[in-house]
């Protein structure tokens, strides 16, 4: 059964921050006719990259995350910057900035909604193959990144042990697995 779109009655911006805006969106349920306010987060689209070296190592980054208040093992990625019209350009930039690596071959694995209940953006997912280190990290002021290489054949155990719990990273790994299962 296809659900009908909700009627949009109006939006009000509640807060503007550096990387996101919060708005209240008034919408009417097509099923009940009731007007309901939703609180939504608007942010730029993101990219996430699964980099793998010719030696079969996946290039991860470890960094402190304020939301969880702990370090997190993640794949490189980030916001698509203003002026970047192609997510691929952002993926190439983020890989270089966060890991000091470049890739010989790129494959777009797909895209996903990070959290469609409250967020309006998309995350574009890429596989970067043949990655080699070419220099130092080019971190933003708010980043403190450690590069961690994990042999691909150890990834399943890492996941079973809870070593990766970032949902977008897990989605990226799922898209990669679907691609390699072809």
d(CA 8, CA 106): 39
Residue pLDDT, tens place only, 124-151: 999 999 999 999 999 989 899 999 999 9
Q: Where are the domains of the chain?
A: 7-43, 46-180
SS3 content of the chain, % helix, strand, coil (to 5): 20, 45, 35
pLDDT exceeds 80 at position 28: yes
Residue pLDDT, tens place only, 85-123: 999 999 999 999 999 999 999 999 999 999 999 999 999
Residues in the chain: 182
pLDDT band at 159 (very low <50, low <70, confident <90, very high): very high
Average pLDDT over residues 31-44: 97
User: How far does CA 81 lie from the centroid of its chain?
Assistant: 14
* Alpha helices (H) along the chain: 87-99, 155-160, 167-180
pLDDT exceeds 70 at position 1: no
Residue 3 is predicted with a pLDDT of 84
Residue 2 is predicted with a pLDDT of 64
Q: Give the C-alpha distances (Å, rounded to integers) separating 128 from 57, 68, 114.
A: 12, 28, 21
- CATH number, domain 46-180, options 3.40.50.970, 2.40.160.40, 3.90.79.10, 3.40.50.10890: 3.90.79.10
Name residue 161's beta-bridge partners.
none
Give residues with Cβ within 8 angstroms of 138, minimum separation 6: 96, 97, 100
Residue 182 is predicted with a pLDDT of 73
Residue 110 is predicted with a pLDDT of 98
Q: Contact, 119 vs 113, CB < 8 A?
A: yes
Mean pLDDT of the chain: 96
Residue 66 is predicted with a pLDDT of 95
């Amino acid at each position: 059964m296809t659900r009908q779109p909700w009627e949009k009655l109006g939006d009000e911006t509640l807060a503007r921050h550096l990387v996101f805006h919060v708005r209240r969106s008034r919408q009417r349920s097509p099923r009940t006719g009731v007007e309901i306010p939703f609180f939504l987060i608007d942010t730029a689209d993101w990219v996430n990259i699964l980099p793998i070296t010719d030696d079969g190592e996946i290039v991860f980054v470890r960094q402190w995350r304020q939301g969880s208040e702990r370090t997190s093992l993640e794949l490189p990625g980030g916001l698509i910057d203003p002026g970047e019209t192609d997510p691929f350009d952002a993926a190439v930039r983020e890989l270089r900035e966060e890991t000091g690596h470049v890739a010989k071959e790129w494959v777009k694995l797909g895209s996903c909604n990070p959290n469609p209940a409250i967020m309006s953006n998309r995350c574009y997912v890429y596989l970067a193959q043949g990655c080699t280190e070419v220099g130092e990290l080019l971190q933003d002021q708010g980043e403190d990144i450690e590069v961690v290489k994990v042999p691909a054949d150890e990834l399943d155990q890492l996941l079973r042990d809870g070593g990766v719990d970032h949902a977008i990273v897990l989605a990226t790994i799922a898209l990669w697995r679907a691609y390699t299962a072809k």
